[in-house]
Amino acid sequence: MIIQLDPWITGADRQVLEAALAAIDYKATEVRTQERLYLVAIGKKEFDIRSIGHLQGVWDVHRVSDAYKLVSKKWKVGHSTIEVGDGVSVGGEEIALMAGPCSIEGEAQIVEVLTHLRSQGVKVMRGGVFKPRTSPYAFQGIGLDGLKLWHQHAREFGIKIISEVMSVQDIQPMYDFLDIYQVGARNSQNFDLLRELGKVDKPVLIKRGLSGTLEDLLQSAEYVFSGGNERLMLCERGIRTYEQAYRNTLDINAVALLKDKTHLPVILDPSHGIGIRRFVEPVALAGVAAGCDGLLFEVHAIPEKAWSDGQQTLNFAESRRLIHKARELFSFCRGLDRAFPVDQDLA
């Protein structure tokens, strides 16, 4: 059960509520987020929900039988829109596009990609400065100095930054230089990291774990939400299966299902999802058709020269084409009647 409280509930009203919960054998945990105050109450007994709902200081009560609670759609009507700042949002009426290289490489590459994104009206650039690589001998990312350089240029272009945070100790140093923290697939169940991100007043994108179930992902989101941060989005990026023909098995089902289970925005990463450049566009569009709120994909001026993941990275012409088609399809699917200009040099 989720009980939304008046944030200024009196001590006396609180005692009455706690006694009422104890009487029906429910154990309550207080969750104070940056926006609201809740009690998440767990118990088994049948009871009349109105006996809680009418108490002083209680705004609203909902039964939520799922293992995850605050991220569930059972209590919150409609979808959450996440404000990133300066009018940029995720989960609103426009498709959220976040694109950029797998790894940030240096000034020239940063400016090339920013120029491309600005020309396409893309408001968020992705890129890793701390890279989770399978081999310790592979390129590990250019680190915090790279993030600072990137941030300086991105601000000049008016473009927001999403970047992966790999450890608790990097949260604070990165804070002033990014707009969205990305939790990578390999850290999807790093509960210490998730709990700490609950304390941060910046949005968080959580990727599905390499072999994570959708319930695992929703529970990870619950960690951040109950830790205090409601500005959350989920990302399907493919899972490990027996199939070897492509990098991961991109689970389009997950998009449709997550949109039904949670009020949080759902993002699709087709680049890591399939891992093969020429199939990134079709699977991205499949995700849009399935109802995702946005795409996170890899783009580079010369993918063949990218320092990591070039095999799944789009060049600028391919990126333009995907952006155009994704916007058209998104508008069609959401029943919006919007016209987007077609680029002159579209192939």
Cα within 13 Å of Cα(92), Cβ side: 10
> In 10 A of CB 10, how many CB atoms?
11
| Touching ligand PEP, residues 60-89 (CB under 6 A) | none
- Closer of 105 and 331 to ligand PEP (Cβ): 105
User: Which of the choices Mn ion, ligand PEP, none does residue 237 contact, using the CB cut-off of 5 to 8 A by kind?
Assistant: ligand PEP
Binding to ligand PEP in span 90-109, by CB under 6 A: 102
Inter-CA distances, 159 with 23, 99, 183, 184, Å: 53, 11, 20, 21
Identify which range of 137-145, 150-158, 182-190, 334-342 contacts ligand PEP by CB under 6 A.
182-190
- Which of 94, 164, 170, 281 is the binder for ligand PEP (CB under 6 A)? 164
With b meaning 16 or more CB within 10 Å and e meaning fewer, what string describes 33-50?
beeebbbbbeeeeebeee
Residues 6 or more apart in contact with residue 238 via CB below 8 angstroms: 247, 248, 249, 250, 251, 269, 272, 273, 274, 275
x/- letters, 286..315, toward Mn ion (CB under 5 A): -----------------------x------
Taking CB under 6 A as the binding criterion, the range among 137-145, 146-154, 184-192, 285-293 that sits at the site for ligand PEP is 184-192
Would you count residue 102 as binding Mn ion (CB under 5 A)?
yes
Query: Hey, which bits of the chain come out as E strands?
Result: 2-5, 27-32, 37-42, 58-62, 82-85, 88-90, 96-100, 124-126, 160-164, 180-183, 204-207, 232-236, 266-268, 294-298
Shortest separation between residue 238's beta carbon and ligand PEP, angstroms: 8
- In this chain, which residue has its C-beta nearest to ligand PEP? 184
User: Cβ(300)–Cβ(318) under 8 Å?
Assistant: no
Closer to Mn ion at the Cβ: 196 or 269? 269
Residue 154 touches Mn ion, criterion: CB under 5 A: no
Nearer to Mn ion, 67 or 138 (CB): 138
Residues contacting ligand PEP: total by CB under 6 A: 11
Residues contributing to the site for ligand PEP (CB under 6 A): 102, 128, 132, 164, 184-186, 207, 237, 269, 272
